[in-house]
Amino acid sequence: MSDDLYQQAIVALARDASHAGKLEPAAATAQRDNPLCGDRVTLTADFAADGTLSEIRHKTRGCLLCEAGAALVASHATGLNAAKAAQAGAAMRAWLRGEAVQGLWQGAEAFAPVRPKKSRHDCVTLAFDALAGLFETRS
Amino acid sequence: MSFDAAVLRAQFPIFLERINGRPLHYLDNGATAQMPQSVIDAVSFHDRHARANVLRGVHTLAERASEAYEGARARVASFLNVPETEIVFTGGCTASINLVAHSYGSLLHPGDEILLSVLEHHSNIVPWQLLAERAGLAIRVLPVTDDGRIDVAALPRLVTERTRLVALAHASNVTGAVLEVAAVVDAAKAVGARVLLDGAQRIPQGPLDLAALGVDFYAFSGHKAYGPTGVGVLWGRGEILEAMPPFMGGGSMIGRVNFAGTTYAPPPRRFEAGTPPIAQAVGLGAAMAFMADLDWAGVEAHEMGLTQRLMDGLGTLGARIVGPRGLQGRVPVVSFVLDRIHPHDLAQILDQHGVAIRGGHHCAQPLMDRFDLPGTARASIAPYNVAADIDALLDGVEDAKRRLA
């Protein structure tokens, strides 16, 4: 695995447009800002009858790591409930801090070069915060 | 006097550092400028030979500390061409503005207006918003032109009979544009309003004659002026400071404390409650002495030469300058954006080249909204910068384009 922060896997993830955009109407919208850098992630989602997330889109205005984090979240979010979404966020944060964790999402290892760059962790996890917010705001 | 950037650079030990195996190309001076050896020595000397509290003790160290602290005040006053009694040491530029917002602000009345601009640093927005909430004031906002200047043509529309204070950046920390101060002062004085300038980005550009400038308050931080962090300055006209109530209460700022009623010291001590940032102020005094010795005409020619080199190079690489394209009426602070490359990512890649710049919203989110940008990359130039710093930045931008665009 390359230690280059901007290795191809992260660039490709950031440029992945498969879940980009906005659901209209959406059952829930969650927007999170990073006050330090101004990055913003807006997630819109619908939910299945059992409360799991059924469809998601992300609109991201931020750095490449923020975009890649949002793409990662959007690609894994379908089928999650609130607890699993929270677990995913906690696992990602712990892993970035250098801890060994269970249940890290496939593709998250592309962010390994970010682990020693503490100032950039929030770029990656902003979308995880927004994901948790979706479950708080769903109608 | 003559100016030689290479000779000056040798006075700054930070440039012995290597960053990611490369020489340091420090172009983040708008955030924090580096300290010359003379300032580092002054702080160290103070802590080794004169560390004590000021204006209290009678022992030798206390005498030395008080002398050094007041000596620093004198050097700042000389740099600004104002009386020493009008210089208040604070914790920084933000603290200086908050002091005015609390103290002078307490003299304002519901319905009074404060005039700001779209390009202000959050430090010159939020204190006024907090005051407006507390005191029922209204905030009006001057627009910004397409080339990143405060639009003084809008003054007649936005300065009203209710305007009590106009608080603006002397130089923008994003676009580098220098304010047309005379136009602002004329408009404000016509309605009896005071003028506060946030001088954080202007002070590193050389001495000022504040009385001649016609403003009423001037705020800046030490760390952008080749001094330590943790110290700033508020200058206020004597008669205005005299009429202002204390902001913080504590030791040093009193006349006599009595439960029947406490009296307060005259300015500047009235506004320096508690133990002030003594060593930092001493360092700032040394920074003022360092700056006072520079050939400022030579510095300006040098810095503007580098600014032109930077803007030309960025233009060749397809970057868009956010701010004035020319050299007139600007400080050497250059913001720019590149298609498909976020400023943070650019800053991260530049770090691999040993180049330090700032990427982001620069605590100026209303200005980012004005230009519909998430942020900009900003290179800010100091007298110790050399052409190699600019060229390293341009090489790094080329690398970033190759990798990310």
**Residues A7 and A110 sit within 8 Å (Cβ to Cβ):** yes
Residue B363 annotated as catalytic: yes
- Cα separation, B365 vs B114, in Å, equals 19
> Residue A130: how many CA atoms within 13 Å on its side-chain side?
34
Mutate to test the interface with B, among A64, A65, A121 (most CBs of B within 10 A): A64
**Pairwise pLDDT comparison (A30 vs A4), residue with the higher score:** A30
Q: Model pTM greater than 0.90?
A: yes
Share of chain A above pLDDT 90, in %: 86
**Residues B386 and B6 sit within 8 Å (Cβ to Cβ):** yes
Return the closest-CA partner of residue A6 out of B314, B346, B392, B25: B346
Selecting from A6, A39, A120 the residue whose C-beta is nearest the C-beta of B349 gives A6
**Are B374 and A39 within 8 A, CB to CB?**
yes
**Are A36 and B349 within 8 A, CB to CB?**
no
- Cα separation, B363 vs B241, in Å, equals 28
**Residues A68 and A124 sit within 8 Å (Cβ to Cβ):** yes
- Tell whether B368 is within 8 A of chain A (Cβ): yes
Question: What is the least distance, in Å, from the CA of A62 to any CA of chain B?
Answer: 7
Q: What is the number of CB-based contacts under 8 A between chain A and chain B?
A: 41
- Tell whether B243 is within 8 A of chain A (Cβ): no
Judged against a pLDDT cut of 60, whether residue A133 lies above it is answered with yes
A82-96 vs A121-137: helix axis angle to the nearest 10?
Answer: 170
H, E, C per residue of chain B: CCCCHHHHHCCCHHHHCEECCEECEECECCCCCCCCHHHHHHHHHHHHHCCCCCCCCCCHHHHHHHHHHHHHHHHHHHHHCCCHHHEEEECCHHHHHHHHHHHHHHHCCCCCEEEEECCCCHHHCHHHHHHHHHHCCEEEEECECCCCCECHHHHHHHCCCCEEEEEEECECCCCCEECCHHHHHHHHHHCCCEEEEECCCCHHHCCCCHHHHCCCEEEEECCCCCCCCCCEEEEECHHHHHHCCCCCCCCCCEEECCCCCCEECCCCHHHCCCCCCHHHHHHHHHHHHHHHCCCHHHHHHHHHHHHHHHHHHHHHCCCEECCCCCCCCECCEEEEEECCECHHHHHHHHHHCCEECEEECCCCHHHHHHCCCCCEEEEECCCCCCHHHHHHHHHHHHHHHHHHC
Q: How confident is the model at residue A1 (pLDDT cuts 50, 70, 90)?
A: very low
Instruction: Quote the pLDDT of residue B279.
Output: 98
For residue A46, give the H/E element and its range.
Answer: strand A40-47
Q: Which residues of A touch B360 (CB under 8 A)?
A: 36-38
Return the closest-CA partner of residue A113 out of A124, A102, A105: A124
Q: Whole-number mean pLDDT of chain B? A: 97
- Tell whether A82 is within 8 A of chain B (Cβ): no
Q: Which residues of B touch A41 (CB under 8 A)?
A: none
pLDDT means over runs of 10, chain B (405 residues): 91 97 98 98 98 92 96 98 98 98 98 98 98 98 98 98 98 98 98 98 97 96 98 98 97 94 96 97 98 97 98 98 98 97 96 97 97 96 98 98 91
**Are B345 and A65 within 8 A, CB to CB?**
yes
Judged against a pLDDT cut of 80, whether residue A2 lies above it is answered with no
- Cα separation, A136 vs B402, in Å, equals 41
What single DSSP character describes residue A105?
P
| Paired residues of B167 in beta bridges | B196
**Are A37 and B361 within 8 A, CB to CB?**
yes
Question: What is the least distance, in Å, from the CA of A34 to any CA of chain B?
Answer: 11
**Are A38 and B345 within 8 A, CB to CB?**
no
Q: What is the pLDDT of residues A25-75, one digit of tens each?
A: 999 999 999 988 889 999 999 999 999 999 999 999 999 999 999 999 999
- Tell whether B396 is within 8 A of chain A (Cβ): no
| Paired residues of B341 in beta bridges | B338
User: How is residue B208 written in tokens?
Assistant: 């000022």
Cβ count near B221 (within 10 Å): 27
**Are B403 and A6 within 8 A, CB to CB?**
yes
Q: Where do the H-state alpha helices sit in A42-120?
A: 64-76, 82-96
**Are A37 and B349 within 8 A, CB to CB?**
no
**Residues A130 and A61 sit within 8 Å (Cβ to Cβ):** no
Judged against a pLDDT cut of 90, whether residue A139 lies above it is answered with no
Return the closest-CA partner of residue B184 out of B207, B156, B223, B210: B156
- Tell whether B370 is within 8 A of chain A (Cβ): no
List B74, B139, B363, B373, catalytic entry:
B363
Q: What is the pLDDT of residues B307-344, one digit of tens each?
A: 999 999 999 999 999 999 999 999 999 999 999 999 99
- Tell whether A63 is within 8 A of chain B (Cβ): yes
Mutate to test the interface with A, among B20, B338, B345, B363 (most CBs of A within 10 A): B345
Q: What is the pLDDT of residues B186-199, one digit of tens each?
A: 999 999 999 999 99
- Residue B372's region, left for phi above 0, alpha for psi from -120 to 50, else beta, is left
